[in-house]
Amino acid sequence: MEKPNISMKDFENISLREAFGKTLVLMGEKVPELVLLGADALGSTRGAAFAKRFPQRTFNFGIAEQEMISAAAGFATCGKIPIATAYGFLISMRACEQVRTDICYPNLNVKLMATHTGLSMATGGTTHHCTEDIAIMRSFANLTIVAPSDATETAKAVESVIYYPGPVYLRMGRGEIPNIYSRDYKFEIGKSILLRKGNDVTIIAFGIMLVEALKAAEVLAKENIQARVINMHTIKPIDKDAIISAASETGAIVTAEEHTINGGLGEAVAGVTSAFYPVPLIRIGIQDTFCGIGPENGLRKKLGLTAQSIIQASKKVILMKK
């Protein structure tokens, strides 16, 4: 299939969902099987541009996420490639069983596009926080989980996910994230990206925590600690080779995620290291708690989702090396 040319300059410093919406229109022109499904949130998930360009290929189900996900399965059995959009907590929890039983079990080609993930809706409170989705989604066989970090990566990820056969959960935050990449690069599902070389410790992160990881590595470098930074944009299937290399070459790992530490990236990484190359590992994430209310940055700071936490954990984990 011919691919659209995702140009970095089109995606500078916009939010992930803006990038999603923009890419979806580009892909709609190329892939006639693409249909967009929404649940009365096409505006806030940024599906509206596609809906305007392709009204005959857009279906709004009202506030009925479970119906939307089951219907997506129906579309897929008829050869369509449904893009089912909703806030992440609704896809992963409200429609959890539909995702598992109607999409993953029959292995249908449905793309679950989850927006407003993590603490994107910080002031929304716990009802609108999406901090358990990866743990839930990781437990489903056949499902691929992708979580891009900036707008360009979102565009590349959306393109890749649409061409990738089988069910995918794509996780996007709401905020505007500065572009992490200064030049173009190749995005491949299942293949992590080395963002910074280093051999003292490895920091593995995705999404907004990747920004914090890079900040932490800068500070650590000034103290003569060379941290390797890996962008683990695909959480399932996870890039085992990169994790094993990191464990054997740096001997210590810190993971960072805007998600509960129970069942998230940290446990996925620990699952690989404990089986193939055990090394000390510290997980930065939400520590088995509901998060409260506050502005996004304030809440992250309160919960320790910061470069500072990553710096402290890095120093600690280095001391734990045998």
Closest CB to another protein among 71 and 113?
A: 71
Q: Which of 25, 40, 54, 105 binds another protein (CB under 8 A)?
A: 105
User: Minimum CB separation from another protein for residue 81, in Å?
Assistant: 11
User: Minimum CB separation from another protein for residue 293, in Å?
Assistant: 29
Phi and psi of 297, rounded to 5°? Answer: -70, -40
Please answer whether residues 38 and 68 qualify as being in contact, where contact means their C-beta atoms are separated by less than 8 angstroms: yes
**Residue 227 makes contact with another protein by CB under 8 A:** no
**Residue 28 makes contact with another protein by CB under 8 A:** no
User: Minimum CB separation from another protein for residue 158, in Å?
Assistant: 21
Joined tokens for residue 134: 């990866």
Q: Which of 25, 31, 48, 64 binds another protein (CB under 8 A)?
A: 64
User: Minimum CB separation from another protein for residue 54, in Å?
Assistant: 11
User: Minimum CB separation from another protein for residue 89, in Å?
Assistant: 18
**Residue 56 makes contact with another protein by CB under 8 A:** yes
**Residue 72 makes contact with another protein by CB under 8 A:** yes
Please answer whether residues 154 and 15 qualify as being in contact, where contact means their C-beta atoms are separated by less than 8 angstroms: no
**Which of 78, 141, 75, 139 is CA-nearest to residue 111?**
75
Number of shown-chain residues binding another protein (CB under 8 A): 29
Q: Which of 106, 292, 295, 298 binds another protein (CB under 8 A)?
A: 106
Closest CB to another protein among 59 and 187?
A: 59
**Residue 40 makes contact with another protein by CB under 8 A:** no
Question: What SS3 string covers 14-30?
Answer: CEHHHHHHHHHHHHHHH
Closest CB to another protein among 102 and 153?
A: 102
Q: Are strands 234-236 and 253-260 parallel, antiparallel or unpaired?
A: unpaired
Please answer whether residues 227 and 200 qualify as being in contact, where contact means their C-beta atoms are separated by less than 8 angstroms: yes
**Residue 55 makes contact with another protein by CB under 8 A:** no
Torsion sign, CA atoms 155, 272, 87, 300: negative
Residue 136's Cβ-count burial label (10 Å; 0-12, 13-18, 19+) is middle
**Residue 77 makes contact with another protein by CB under 8 A:** yes
* Inter-CA distances, 105 with 57, 68, 109, 135, 170, Å: 25, 17, 11, 18, 18
Q: Which of 11, 20, 50, 59 binds another protein (CB under 8 A)?
A: 59
User: Minimum CB separation from another protein for residue 108, in Å?
Assistant: 9
Please answer whether residues 217 and 227 qualify as being in contact, where contact means their C-beta atoms are separated by less than 8 angstroms: yes
Joined tokens for residue 3: 């691919």
Residues interacting with another protein, by CB under 8 A? 35, 56-57, 59, 61-62, 64, 66-67, 69-80, 82, 97-98, 101-102, 105-107
